[in-house]
């Protein structure tokens, strides 16, 4: 196998995807993603400073490349004499078996294609799913998806998780009181005063391992709750780029998290305050908007340490969003599905 050729082919598709979808991000979101992509391509650590003098020429070149590639299409991945579609993940990884590499491809928000080529750290095989723990990433696109599902395969990207944790650490340092972040980091003996940052990296590796388990639980929850959800992907594609797409994805996320197989059930069983703090810290604004009861429960927990409050909100969340998922699917699979789905989702603003 020609590793350099494979890497170049995956990178080409990453660039095609980025050239088509960079405009979907806010200016701030785009700059943050470009900064982390530069860090990845330059083999910098998360605690390394990046000056504007360093990154500005790279941004100019990448911007020019994206303009040059506008209108380009994704290419097949050629390995030896065989050619595979860019989303034929199973066949490509069968071919990579024994090489220590793992290939990932899927769709994120806005149905943006996501690709990566990385080192495979661990494979966990269960009856209902297979988990691939992804290590160092040789190539990736601009998106920062920490975990993804393809069929019954779960890909968890430890480097993306580590980046998110470092972001939350810098966020905690910038605030006098950070609430759930103080709760989260203190359970790993991490404080905002920790220095030098290079030594903090070892502590953050411990957090990465725990968050990896939490994300696996989320993806397993999604797989289990997908049973009987025919038409969901078609519905997402129809609402691509609209507020309805974001709400539908948030409904699915909350449902997976609150399920018996999801991360909240495991956190409650272990009564793990650190994981609960990070779970709350990673919630998106839309999650907070459609399920404000959870945010209130997390804030109350900081004062009370009452795990029953978290269990109660988990059960309410599962009941509410399981019913909502079913209502959406029934609307979609009936006459005038698109109109009726929009009507159902009006309750979330």
Residue 139 in this model has a pLDDT that exceeds 90: yes
Question: Residue 51: CA atoms inside 13 Å, Cβ hemisphere, count?
Answer: 2
* Token pair of 227 as six digits: 């049973």
Q: What is the mean pLDDT of residues 261-287?
A: 91
Q: What is the mean pLDDT of residues 24-47?
A: 91
List Cβ neighbours of 30 (8 Å cut-off, separation of 6 or more).
Answer: 22, 142
- Note the pLDDT of residue 326: 93
Q: What is the mean pLDDT of residues 305-314?
A: 96
List Cβ neighbours of 33 (8 Å cut-off, separation of 6 or more).
Answer: 25, 142, 143, 144
Read off the pLDDT band of 283 (50, 70, 90).
confident
List Cβ neighbours of 225 (8 Å cut-off, separation of 6 or more).
Answer: 252, 255, 256, 259, 322, 325
- Note the pLDDT of residue 321: 95
Tens of pLDDT, residue by residue over 59-112, are: 999 999 999 998 899 999 999 999 999 999 999 999 999 999 999 999 888 889
Tens of pLDDT, residue by residue over 154-179, are: 999 999 999 999 999 998 988 876 67
- Note the pLDDT of residue 182: 87
HEC profile of 178-195? CCHHHHHHHCCCCCCCCC
Distance of CA 291 to the CA centre of its chain: 19
Tens of pLDDT, residue by residue over 297-309, are: 998 998 899 999 9
Give kind and range of the element (H or E) at residue 257: helix 243-258
- Note the pLDDT of residue 109: 81
Tens of pLDDT, residue by residue over 214-261, are: 999 999 998 888 876 778 888 988 998 899 999 999 999 999 999 999
């Amino acid at each position: 196998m020609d590793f350099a050729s494979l890497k170049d082919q995956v990178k080409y598709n990453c660039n095609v995807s980025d050239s088509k979808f960079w405009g979907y991000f806010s200016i701030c979101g785009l700059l943050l993603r470009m900064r982390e992509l530069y860090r990845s391509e330059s083999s910098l650590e998360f605690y390394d400073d990046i000056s504007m003098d360093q990154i500005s020429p790279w941004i100019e070149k990448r911007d020019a490349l994206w303009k040059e590639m506008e209108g380009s299409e994704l290419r097949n991945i050629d390995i030896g004499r065989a050619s595979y579609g860019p989303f034929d993940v199973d066949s490509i990884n069968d071919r990579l078996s024994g090489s220590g590499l793992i290939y990932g491809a899927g769709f994120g928000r806005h149905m943006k294609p996501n690709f990566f080529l990385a080192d495979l750290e661990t494979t966990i095989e269960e009856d209902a799913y297979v988990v691939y723990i992804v290590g160092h990433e040789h190539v990736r696109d601009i998106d920062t998806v920490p975990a993804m599902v393809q069929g019954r395969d779960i890909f968890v990207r430890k480097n993306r998780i580590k980046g998110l944790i470092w972001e939350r650490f810098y966020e905690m340092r910038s605030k006098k009181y950070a609430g759930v972040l103080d709760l989260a980091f203190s359970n790993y003996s991490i404080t905002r005063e920790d220095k030098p940052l290079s030594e903090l990296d070892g502590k953050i590796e411990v957090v990465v391992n725990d968050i990896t388990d939490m994300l696996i639980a989320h993806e397993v929850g999604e797989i289990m709750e997908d049973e009987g959800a025919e038409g969901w992907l078609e519905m997402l594609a129809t609402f691509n780029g609209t507020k309805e797409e974001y709400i539908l994805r948030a409904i699915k996320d909350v449902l997976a998290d609150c399920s018996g197989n999801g991360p909240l059930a495991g956190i409650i069983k272990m009564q793990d305050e650190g994981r609960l703090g990070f779970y709350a810290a990673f919630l998106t604004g839309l999650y907070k908007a459609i399920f404000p009861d959870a945010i209130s429960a997390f804030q109350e927990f900081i004062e009370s340490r009452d795990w029953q409050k978290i269990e109660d909100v988990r059960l309410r969340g599962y009941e509410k969003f399981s019913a909502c998922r079913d209502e959406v699917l029934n609307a979609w699979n009936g006459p005038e599905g698109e109109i009726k789905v929009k009507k159902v989702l009006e309750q979330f603003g």
